Amino acid sequence: MATEMPFSSYLITPKELHEALQKSPPSETTTLPRTIPLSAASFPPGDGRTGLDAFRERRIPNARFLDLGKVVDKHSNLPNMLPSARDFASAMSALGISRDDTVVVYDTFELGITSAPRAAWMLKVFGHATVHVLNNFKLWVENDYPTEFGEPPSIDASHYPTPDLDASKVVNFDQVKEVALNYNQGGPEGAQILDARPYGRWVGTTPEPRHGLSSGHIPGSISVPVSDLLDPQTKTFLPAEQLIRVFKGKGVDPARPIITSCGSGVTAAVIDAALAAAKYGNEENRRLYDGSWSEWAQRVNSSNGLIEKFAQ
C-alpha cells in the first residue's frame, strides 16, 4: 500500500520528524512503511566518548543505533570504508529496517552534525529510496521533544534484501589522483575536490588526529570546513541562501563535478548534505572519496607533489 512521502526535503526539522512519528504505524509487524529514527552518533578519534554511550544516555523514542565504525569494509586497513552490500543488508536487517521505511538519521546532541550525513549517504549509495537527515538532535532536545534513555529494547529483525551499490556516487584513489595531477589543466569542466577537514589540517599547520599521517591537502582541493556550514550556536546546517554564499565565496562552481573528501570519509558527507540542502549543483555530478585523507596521505608524499601545504 503506497503512502504519501512524509518529508519534502533532505534535511528535516525536529517538528517535522515529531509529527511524522506520531503518524507512523507503531507495530513492528506492520506491512506499511514506517518512519524510523536512526542514530548514527559517533565522536572523532581520540575523543574518548562513544556513540553507543550517547545513544543510551539520550535518544529519540524507538530509535535504532547504527555503529558506523562496525558497518564497514572488514577487509580494508582504512577506517570507515563502505561495507559490502551483503554486510550492509545484514546491518539493516538486524536493525529491523525494511526497504520501504523512511529513515531519518540523526547525530549526537553534543556535536550537532557530524556523522549522520555519512550514514544517510551510505543508505542512498545502497539504494534506500527514502532517507533524510535530522537538522538536528540538539534542537530536538532543546525544544523538549520526547527522549528516552537506558538500554534499548530488543528489535525484531527484518529481511532487508541485498542491494546494489551505486558506484556513480563513489570515487577511488586513482580517480582522485588523476584529478589532482591535472587540476591546473582541468578547464571549465574539471572536477573540484572539496575538503571538509578543519582549515589547519588542510593548510598543514595542525597535525592529523590519526598517528603517522601528514597534514596538508590534495593539490587543487578547496578547503570547506564543516564548521563553515553550520550555525555556531545550534550546530544546525546554515539556511540554504547562506550555504550558497559559502560555496560561492570559496569558488565552488555548481556547473562542474564535485568530489567531497575529509579525514576518513565521514564528514565529506556533511558537505554533500549541505550541497543538497542548498540545491547547489547537480546531485548526479557529486561523488564522495571514501578513502579520503587517510588513504591519500598513506599512498603519496610531499616529495612527489601530491601533498600540498599552505597554498589555497
DSSP result, the chain: -----S-SSSEE-HHHHHHHHHHS---TT-SS--EEEEE-----TT----HHHHHHHSB-TT-EE--TTTSS-TT-SSTTPPPPHHHHHHHHHHTT--TTSEEEEE--TTTSSSSHHHHHHHHHHTT-SSEEEES-HHHHHHTT---B-SSPPP------------GGGEE-HHHHHHHHHTGGG-GGGS-EEEE-S-HHHHHTSS--SSTT----B-TT-EE--GGGGB-TTT-PBPPHHHHHHHHHHTT--TTS-EEEE-SSSSTHHHHHHHHHHHT-S-GGGEEEESSHHHHHHHH--GGGT-SB-S--
Topology match between the domains 11-142 and 167-304: yes
Task: Check whether 247 has a pLDDT greater than 60.
Answer: yes
11-142 is a CATH 3.40.250.10 domain: yes
Domain ranges of the chain: 11-142, 167-304
Of 238, 262, 270, 307, the catalytic one is 262
| pLDDT tens digits for range 189-245 | 689 999 999 999 999 999 999 888 999 999 999 999 999 999 999 999 999 999 999
pLDDT for 231 equals 97
Is 280 noted as a catalytic residue in this protein?
no
Summarize pLDDT for 74-133 with one digit per residue, the tens.
Answer: 999 999 999 999 999 999 999 999 999 999 999 999 999 999 999 999 999 999 999 999
- Identify the CATH class of 167-304: alpha beta
